[in-house]
Chain A
Amino acid sequence: MIRKVLIRLLNLIPVLIGISFLSFLLMRLSPGDFLSQMSLNPQVSPEIIAKLRSLYGLDQPLPVQYFRWVEALLRGEFGYSFSYHVKVTDLILSRVPNTLLLAVSSVILSWGLAIPLAIRGAMFPNGFLDRTLTGMSYLSIAIPSFFLAILGVLLAGETGWFPIGGASSPGVPEGSWWPVFLDRLHHLILPALTLALGSIGVLYRLMKSSVMEVMGKPWMTAARARGLSPALLRRRYLFRNAINPLITIFGFELGGLLSGAAFTEMVYGWPGMGRLMLHAVMSQDLYLVMGGIMTGAVMLLSGNMIADTFLWFLDPRVREEE
């Protein structure tokens, strides 16, 4: 197992190098940077611009700049944000937990809802529940996350059940963790639900067809014939066999989830990576955009790794392959 993880990690190195190269290229190809915008400001003298340029190494040839950037990356330094005037690393570290919190809660919600519903739906295919859910899954797949988020804002505004904007309310007493936790949860529910509703359709359809396939297997009939209780059968045999494709697509799902999370963050004002990226792109904040792309990729790749590890533990067939 450890060997396998190590091999996987080694395989990631060329991909990470490629990503760093791509994000560097994207930013350096752009015609303007923060300094060229600053140079339009008459209050800033050309000497200062030139000084800043050499300070950030922007006057060096491109390969030199790239290696300096990568070298800094390896030390955990993503550079300096021109628009926030703080280190990019600090900015990203302050935002990543929020995005992860949003993404993880939405995964818990969507899997927690889709899996039991899909098992129920597969028990009675074409029944009332299955047909309703299949219809809704089409809608869930088709509705863009930003539109769903707007509808969520509308819901919150009309009912007053959820707060809109930010991840916490002002005036919540610091120190006592329980009210802070509740307030946080209150802010989290709607964005997480928005994100979950968008991915539940795919999960339902995939899980349903997988459950139906497993139920048709001869060993299921054999187990049933031996008198195993349906509950035990479902929990120990059906679930563990049927969950496999869901974990396999987790990697793909995560990519969509992180993009969806970015949209959701922007509409709800949730202070995560997506909003940070948008701001960075709008203000041509070089290092922040590069750092954001790297962070997004690292989140996605780690998600894939975690999914693979899960699969290894859960499915003996995957272990056998080695």
Chain B
Amino acid sequence: MAAARKLVARGGLAGKILLFLFFISLFAEFFVPYGYNDVRFDLSYAPAVVPRITGSGIVVPVLEQVDPVSRSYRYVPGKISRVHFFCSGDRYRLLGVFLSDRHLICADAPGRISFLGSDALGRDLFSRLMIGMRLSFLLSFFGVAISFMVGVTAGLVSGYRGGWVDSVIMRTGEVFMAIPSLYLLMGFRALFPPGIPSGEAALVITGALALVGWASLARVIRGVTMSLVKEDYIMAAKSSGARPAEIFTKHLLPNMSPYLVVAVTLSVPGFIVGEAGLSFLGLGIAPPHPSLGNMLADAQSLTVIRTAPWLLMSGLLVVVLVLLFNRLGDHIRESE
């Protein structure tokens, strides 16, 4: 816990923003006005409708479709809906467990709050973005955890044992690094049928990304281990009969932890972009479940971008998340 607090304190602004975004996305269903699959065909590509403060309280204007072909909308003159806070709306399960229908913000019946606009099926883009962002966070955290467990173990064993064990592990790593990552990802993805459900797809992607990422980490950890093993205190531990597992956990890992923290942070963006990329290609999370990648795939045609430029927001969010994680990593490294 103390370590976590230290990390937050050392994270700087980028760390605080990320923590905030993670918190929001974790309880996304509460913070956003609508569910991720709240389809409204009459609001296809509807523009953003933001609450405004008037004399009679906070209200939203009511949007009405003028032409379903050109998807043009207008405000119904004189018609407004009141905005409420901590109100009841779509039902959901908070953290996947607690049944609830409370939302931070919602509008009375004909009105609709839409901070960023709607997608082709009239679903609220903001709500979907926040829920998609949670997937990005969780998936990359799990993926990083797996690839670190494998990579660090392989690197430690390889660097500590040396000899043929080292050769085998390093040659295996080279095989994984010699294949361009997207080719390897696609190859791994081909193990599973194209249209698997989103839950399984998330697991598959996590595994695939971890498979791609472990080798380069193992290589670096091996190098660090080899230089640490020559240190006197490791020699002392060895000669006093400490088992390798003890040396790993008591001496080697704590000594490389500053490096590990930075490496963890800087490897998260790869997972975020990897998930988004695979989902973008239709090999990852399948709609209606939102992911930053499959939402961006909706914005591939020029006509769609012209009608609803806000669909590019999911791509922008990926860029922002990657920037923040890179900044966080740099910040931790500099504050060492």
Contacts and interface: CB of A to CB of B under 8 A. Distances in A.
A267 interface: yes
A18 B174 contact: yes
B125 interface: no
B312 interface: yes
Interface of B: 171-172, 174-184, 186-194, 269, 273, 276-277, 280-283, 296, 299-300, 302, 305-306, 312, 315-316, 318-319, 322-323, 326-327
12 contacts: A22-B176, A30-B191, A141-B322, A142-B323, A144-B277, A147-B316, A157-B305, A258-B180, A262-B183, A296-B180, A297-B178, A297-B179
A281 B190 contact: yes
A263 interface: yes
Interface in A110-163: 138-139, 141-144, 146-147, 150-151, 153-154, 157
A293 B179 contact: yes
A147 B319 contact: yes
Interface residues of A, number: 50
A280 B181 CA distance: 16
Given A30-B192, A138-B326, A150 B296 contact: yes
A290 B187 CA distance: 8
Shortest 3 CB-CB distances between A and B: which pairs? A18-B175, A259-B182, A147-B315
A304 B273 CA distance: 25
Interface string A180-214: 00000000000000000000000000000000000
Given A139-B319, A142-B319, A274-B182, A266 B281 contact: yes
A16 to B, nearest CB: 8
A284 B190 contact: yes
Given A15-B178, A18-B172, A138-B323, A278 B186 contact: yes
Given A19-B179, A150-B305, A259-B180, 17 more contacts: A18-B175, A22-B175, A29-B191, A30-B190, A31-B193, A139-B323, A143-B319, A143-B322, A144-B322, A150-B299, A150-B300, A153-B302, A277-B182, A281-B187, A281-B189, A281-B190, A281-B194
A92 interface: no
A32 interface: yes
A278 B276 contact: no
Contacts of A278: 186, 281, 283
B97 to A, nearest CB: 33
Contacts of A157: 302, 305-306
B318 A255 contact: no
Contacts of A153: 300, 302, 305
B322 A299 contact: no
Given A141-B326, A144-B315, A293-B183, A255 B296 contact: no
A23 B185 CA distance: 11
Contacts of B323: 138-139, 142
A26 interface: yes
A191 to B, nearest CB: 15
Contact of B175 (A15, A154, A296): A15
A278 B184 CA distance: 12
Nearest to A292: B183
B184 A293 contact: yes
Nearest to A257: B180
Given A144-B276, A277-B183, A278-B281, A14 B189 contact: no
A224 B179 CA distance: 45
B183 A146 contact: no
Contact of B171 (A15, A262, A296): A15
A19 B276 CA distance: 26
Contacts of B193: 31-32, 284
Interface string A1-35: 00000000000001100110011001101111000
A293 B187 contact: yes
Contacts of A266: 281
Nearest to A138: B323
A39 B160 CA distance: 52
B171 A14 contact: yes
Contact of B180 (A22, A142, A282, A300): A300
Interface in A269-284: 274, 277-278, 280-282, 284
B283 A281 contact: yes
Contact of A154 (B273, B282, B302, B327): B302
A289 interface: yes
B312 A150 contact: yes
Given A26-B191, A281-B283, A150 B180 contact: no
Contacts of B180: 255-256, 258-259, 262, 296-297, 299-300
A35 B293 CA distance: 31
Nearest to A255: B180
Contacts of A14: 171
Contact of A263 (B172, B269, B277): B277
A129 B269 CA distance: 27
Nearest to B273: A144
A267 B273 contact: no
Contacts of A70: none
The residue in B178, B302, B318 that gathers the most chain A C-beta atoms within 10 A of its C-beta is: B178
Interface string A228-244: 00000000000000000
Interface in A33-86: none
Contacts of A262: 180, 182-183
Contacts of B191: 26, 29-31
B222 to A, nearest CB: 17
A95 B326 CA distance: 35
A28 to B, nearest CB: 10
